[in-house]
Amino acid sequence: MKICKRCNKNSVPNSRCRICEDCKHGKHGLQFSEIVAIARKQGMKCPLSGFPLIVKENKVIDSKTGKGVAIDHDHATGIVRGLLSERLNWLADMYHKGHYGKLSEPEALRDYRLNPPAVMAIGERQYKD
């Protein structure tokens, strides 16, 4: 067995790839197990819409759309905040870019932003493209 060249923790069966299953199915610098830990911290639902999240075939999926969830992050700091449905991730991003003018920030969005479930689940982690 070899050690994973991404996380330097998990062992890898003798193969050319040398990346463990956890890293292979993760994204944006997070291992798949960390993505699932965030989903569990969120109660297996999108914290803004309340729609259920489903773990299926090494992905966390928005049950409403059937698409993979977005890994939301603070664009100023790069810190991962949580898992949102694709549309709500876009909405939150547009809100913080000032596209909604003088509209007050919705309470649920403010609470999510100030108490990010990802930080509570796995600590401060940087989003990677």
Express each pLDDT in 67-108 by its tens digit: 999 999 998 999 999 999 999 999 899 888 888 888 888 899
Per the CB < 8 A criterion, the answer to whether 36 and 60 are in contact is yes
Q: Which pTM does this prediction carry?
A: 0.81
Its domain, for residue 75, covers 2-122
Mean pLDDT value of segment 32-54 = 95
Report which of residues 52 and 6 the model is more confident about. 52
User: How many distinct structural domains can be found in the chain?
Assistant: 1
Q: Are 85 and 49 in contact (CB under 8 A)?
A: yes
**Residue 128 within any structural domain of the chain:** no
64 occurs within a structural domain? yes
DSSP lists the bridge partners of residue 11 as 3
CB neighbours of 33 closer than 8 A, spacing ≥ 6? 22, 26
Q: Is 80 exceeded by the pLDDT of residue 111? A: yes
